[in-house]
Each structure stands twice: as C-alpha cells, then as structure tokens.
Amino acid sequence: MPMENGYNEVSGVVNGSKYSYEDVQRIAQSVLDRVKCRPHIGIICGSGLGGLAEVLGDKEIIQYEDIEGFPVSTVPGHAGRLVFGSLQGKQVVLMQGRAHLYEGYDVHKIILPVRVMKLMEVRILFVTNAAGGINQDFNVGDIMIIKDHFNMPGFAAVNPLVGPNDDRFGPRFPPASQCYSYRLRKLIQETGEKLGMKDFIQNGVYCFLGGPSFETVTECRFLKVAGVDATGMSTVPEVLVANHCGMEVCGISLITNKCVMDYDSKQVANHEEVLETGEKRAKDMQQLISTVVADL
Ligand SMILES: O=P(O)(O)O[C@H]1O[C@H](CO)[C@@H](O)[C@H]1O
C-alpha cells in the first residue's frame, strides 16, 4: 500500500530517502544554528585521513551523535565529528569520518550529511578515501585523483537515488559520466606538481564495493580487466548524491595497500595497514588539499 511519503509498504523495498527535503532543511538549519561558520566548501575524510581537521582555524565541532539522523561512525580511523573552520582563509565544513554500507547503514542514511551540506550552501565537495591499488603500477602511498567510478553495488540498485525523487534536490535521471569535475582534477594535478608530488600522483578509476571483506584474488583480477585502478568501500554514494544536487565534486584516493592479485601470495589486506599508510601520507594529503582550497 502506498504510504504518505511515497514509499511502497507492500513491496518491502527500501526505496527512497527516509529524510524528506523538509527534514534535511530542518537538520541543516539546526546545525547552522550551532555554528558561526558559513561554509561553501565541504570535505569528507576517509579512513585515517581526518587529521586535516587539525589544520583548520577557528574550529567549531559537532559530534555526529548530536545531529538528528546522522550515522554514527563505528570504524577505527573515523572520528565521527563535523568540524567547521577556516582553511586558507576559506570557510569549510569537514566530515571527520563517514558511514559505510557494511556498518549496516542504509545507503540513504550514508548520504544524509551530503544533502545537509547542500542545504547549508556547500557548493564544492572534496571526497577522500583510503583504497587498495588494483593498478599494479601504483605504489602504496600514491595519491590518486579519481577521474571516474564503478558503482558495483549499483548493479543491484544499491544507489542512494533509488526511490521517489524530489526535484528540489535534483533530476530523476542524472548523468553520471562527469561526476568528477574536470576543473578540480586539473587543479589538483597542477597543485600536486607544484608541491613536488608528481612522482606519487596518479589519475584513475575508483570502484565501490560493499565490504567489509576485502576482495578475493578473482575479484581483484576482474576489477583490473574492468579498467579499475583502485578499490574501496565508500565514496560513490556521496559523490552520486552531490552530483545529483549540483555540487562540484572531486575525489582523492590514498593507495594504502596493493590488492592481492596472485593466488599463491602470502600477503593479506588489513585495516591496520590502511591506517598506517594514512598516517604516513597525512601531511602530504593535508598540504595538497589546503593548497587547492587556497586556489579555489
Ligand atoms: O573508504 P574509506 O572510508 O576511506 O575506508 C576504507 O578503509 C576501510 C578498509 O580498511 C574501508 O572502510 C574502506 O572503504
């Protein structure tokens, strides 16, 4: 039976955001009421990359658990705080930690913070993540500018845009072939080169998988054939929603480990290595993003 909010009770399908436009407006306003900052730039920090918050000036911090509807972080390396402040003279809001499907969150809950940022008037979104290198030319510690993505769960309709569409957020059928802003990709590349990072900056395709298991050897080999350069368990839901609502988006993956491509390899992926690499490259990631922000 159709329900008031457009959900279909009979189908049992989880379709459509639990948060209406009015809900998101209310949540955004309740956040803005608690801070002085009025950011136009948003940054989502991936596993172990939340240290960027340390370089913000005039910080104002809200815990996710104190914001209606926000998913609480349950993964080490994701502090679960919304940090407002100034970066290179620009007002920004930074998500220190994100939610993932494998934590048990519905994809619509994962993207709520992005819609809240949109209604707080954030126009540019930086999305970062830790990812495993599928491309064998990539080294651990490389920084990959995302040029496109592969939404593997999307093949089974795991997409935050599934469900009733509210045109006030964006169109029913948004294009997804230019999710990662050409302008920002070029700016990140040029900035990285100026900062002497050319040797460890790559460009490539990110694949989103559900996790929490790391990939099998066969899955990694499949991704390689599919043209994927790096894989992880996040980012794509946020990027799809940010594009849908008209934000300019860029994505940066830190290659924290090499994916295992050999059936007889003794190597195994692990979250500790992911966090360790994040720590080692933290300063470079911070410098790169801060300098790009300064030039926006
Ligand atoms: O994508 P982020 O949040 O950076 O985290 C990555 O690191 C975790 C695995 O170590 C997974 O959550 C994967 O998606």
First to last CA, the chain: 49
Ligand 1 atom nearest to CA at 49? 4
Q: Does the annotation count 60 as an active-site position?
A: no
pLDDT tens digits, 280-292:
998 999 999 999 9
Using the mean position of ligand 1's atoms as its centre, give its distance from the Cα of residue 165 in Å: 29
Question: CB–CB of 127/185 below 8 Å?
Answer: no
What atom of ligand 1 comes closest to residue 254's alpha carbon? Answer: 4
Q: Which of 18-22, 127-131, 169-173 shows the lowest mean pLDDT across its residues?
A: 18-22
Separation of alpha carbons 45 and 97, rounded Å: 6
In sequence order, the 6+-apart residues with CB closer than 8 A to the CB of 231 are 131, 132, 134, 206, 207, 208, 209, 215, 220, 223, 259
* CB contact set of 24 (below 8 Å; sequence gap of 6+): 112, 115, 116, 118, 119
The DSSP 8-state label assigned to residue 219 in this structure reads H
d(CA 187, CA 192): 8
257 is catalytic: yes
Tell me, yes or no, if 226 is annotated catalytic. Answer: no
In the residue annotation, 40 being an active-site residue is answered as no
Pocket residues for ligand 1 (CB within 6 Å)? Answer: 46-47, 75, 98, 100, 129-130, 211, 232-234, 271, 274
Query: Cα(222)–Cα(16) distance, rounded to whole angstroms?
Result: 31
Q: What does the pLDDT read at residue 18? A: 79
- 254 and 281 Cβ atoms separated by less than 8 Å: yes
Q: Read off the pLDDT of each residue in 250-272 and give the average, rounded to a whole number.
A: 95
Provide CB contacts within 8 A for 248, sequence distance 6+.
Answer: 123, 124, 125, 181, 183, 184
Q: How far is the CA of 118 from the centre of ligand 1 (A)?
A: 24
Indicate whether this model's pTM tops 0.80: yes
**From 130, 131, 152, 242, the catalytic residue:** 130
